[in-house]
Amino acid sequence: MDPIAEARRHWQERGWLEAAEGMAAVTSIMRTQQILLARIETVLKPHGLTFARFELLALLSFTREGALPMAKASARLQVHPTSVTNSVDRLERAGLVMRAAHPADGRTKLVEITPQGRAAVEQATLELNAQVFTSPGFSAPEVDGLNQVLGRFRHEAGDFVETRFAI
């Protein structure tokens, strides 16, 4: 029994025909996200990482300097600044990042990845690639279709960041 198919049936019985398929699609995205997140967190847990913290480490590892202002990280990761503070607190306690002063702006603090952080994110990424991303549960054409459809959706939702570079 598919709970979502059942919900769609109920929607149709109530006469909400215009909304039934959209409701099913939106709800399916919710459930799919839960399933994928659970798989990812299972892989990351032994490394002491959550997906949010992994994303932060990965972002830092891809910058030229290995460091970013907190606000930049918040914008790139599309999460609330307080969530970044929280993640950095824990990553710093684990020795994977350091807070550093910004050379020019006294307000901003830089988050900088440490050598241990680089090692951790490298290892975690290899495992995620092997156990989730290479075979996510979608065929190659499905992956392409998802990337196209969801990419356009995100674009229309204003999910893209303005281009700005600054240490």
Partner DNA sequence: ACGGAATACTTGCACTTCCTAGTTTGTGCA
Partner DNA sequence: TGCACAAACTAGGAAGTGCAAGTATTCCGT
Residues near a second copy, by CB under 8 A: 1-5, 7, 10, 16, 18-26, 28-37, 40, 51, 58, 62, 76-78, 125, 128-130, 132-138, 140, 142-147, 149-151, 153-157, 159-163
Per partner kind, with CB cut-offs from 5 to 8 A, the member of a second copy, DNA, none near residue 101 is none
Smallest distance, Å, CB 17 to a second copy?
10
Residue numbers 12-41 binding DNA by CB under 7 A: 34
Could you give the residue ranges of the DSSP H alpha helices within 14-160? Answer: 17-44, 51-61, 70-77, 81-93, 115-128, 140-156
| Binding pattern for the stretch 70-109 against DNA, x by CB under 7 A and - elsewhere | xxx-x----xxxxxxxxxxxx--------x--x--xxxxx
Whole-angstrom distance, CA of residue 150 vs CA of residue 155: 8
- Amino acid identity, residue 111? V
β-pair type (67-69, 97-101): unpaired
